[in-house]
Amino acid sequence: MPGSPRRRRLRTFAPLVALAVAVPVAGLGAGCGGSSGPTTLTVLAASSLTEVADEIATAYAQENPGVKLRFEFGASPELTDRLSDHEPGDVLVTADKAGMDEAGEYLSGPRRIVAHTSLTIAVGPGNPRRVRGLGDLERRGLRVVVGAGTVPVGRYTRQVFAKAGLSVRWSSEEISARAVLDRVRSGEADAGVVYVTDLRSAGVAASSVPIPADVNVTAAFPAAAVRDGDHEEAAGAFVSWLVTPAAQTLFNKYGFATPPTPR
């Protein structure tokens, strides 16, 4: 896929952002996993799930006392690297199936698709460069930023460009959809391809140019328990809860679509 000869570097990973939810969570009860006290699950999650995580923890707490959730957010490759380095983790949620496959040797139990979203073009507030659609991303002089080809949003973006028959010359590649959005919000880029749900988090700091459904893609967020973790049973129960109506209502609130029920 063509990129700019001037600047094709990939930014280094930002430090993981951790959110410790110190409320009792989900119906596994104290003593799960052989412990006499509360169980703390470390959930390694794609950064695009940052906003919904708080409400997931609160809702889970109401149903399952005795468990605490500790979310750590980052790019999917970064989360897999954590597992390969044997750092603590009980549940992994990535932004595509390929990212989950890369971590496959560290996972156990069924993988469940917990949310869907799609892509959009993020532009500055009010769309100052008058980007009208995907074709404009080929415009000479337009600073376009995309996800790297090794991360979910980058893989999805390249699928969209291929379906639309475009050859976009981007100015930089980033490690996550949030990083792409940050470049647009800061004015360092004129346009970038991000998840619809990430664009919502920007509020008035960015505008959206829709991508037609016939060339758009469905981004799937799979979740799985980590193999040989300290709380593998509790982790599996949490993953199963993520596809319940209670959890899906929260994902819907933040713009995610409910995945079809497996047949």
pLDDT in tens, 92-119: 999 999 999 999 999 998 999 999 999 9
State percent of the chain over pLDDT 70: 85
The radius of gyration computed from the CA coordinates of the chain, to the nearest angstrom, equals 19
Closest by Cα among 86, 15, 20, 79 to 44? 79
Which residue did the predictor score with more confidence, 24 or 206? 206
Which residue did the predictor score with more confidence, 81 or 123? 123
Distance between CA atoms of 76 and 100, rounded to whole angstroms? Answer: 8
Mean pLDDT, rounded, for 185-214:
95
At residue 23, the pLDDT reads 36
At residue 156, the pLDDT reads 98
Q: Residue 224: which H helix or E strand, with range?
A: strand 219-226
At residue 71, the pLDDT reads 95
Per the CB < 8 A criterion, the answer to whether 60 and 68 are in contact is no
Is the per-residue pLDDT at 17 higher than 50? Answer: no
At residue 37, the pLDDT reads 67
Is the per-residue pLDDT at 191 higher than 80? Answer: yes
pLDDT in tens, 39-54: 889 999 999 999 999 9
Beta bridge partners of 239: none
At residue 118, the pLDDT reads 98
Which residue did the predictor score with more confidence, 109 or 247? 247
Query: What is the average pLDDT score of the chain?
Result: 86
pLDDT in tens, 61-78: 888 888 889 999 999 889
At residue 88, the pLDDT reads 83
Mean pLDDT, rounded, for 6-22:
41
As given in the structure block, the two tokens for residue 117 are 């979203």
Q: What angle do CA 187, 75, 175 make, to 5 degrees?
A: 40
pLDDT in tens, 152-184: 999 999 999 999 999 999 999 999 999 999 999
Distance between CA atoms of 225 and 47, rounded to whole angstroms? Answer: 18
DSSP characters for 107-164?
EEEEEEEEEEE-EEEEESTT-TT---SGGGGG-TT--EEEE-TTSHHHHHHHHHHHHH
Per the CB < 8 A criterion, the answer to whether 74 and 88 are in contact is no
Q: Residue 220 carries which DSSP code? A: E
In the 3-class helix/strand/coil scheme, how is 45-95 assigned residue by residue?
A: EEHHHHHHHHHHHHHHHHHCCCEEEEEEEECHHHHHHHHHCCCCCCEEECC
Closest by Cα among 255, 216, 189, 218 to 133? 216
At residue 12, the pLDDT reads 40
Domains of the chain: 17-114+222-253 (3.40.190.10), 119-210 (3.40.190.10)
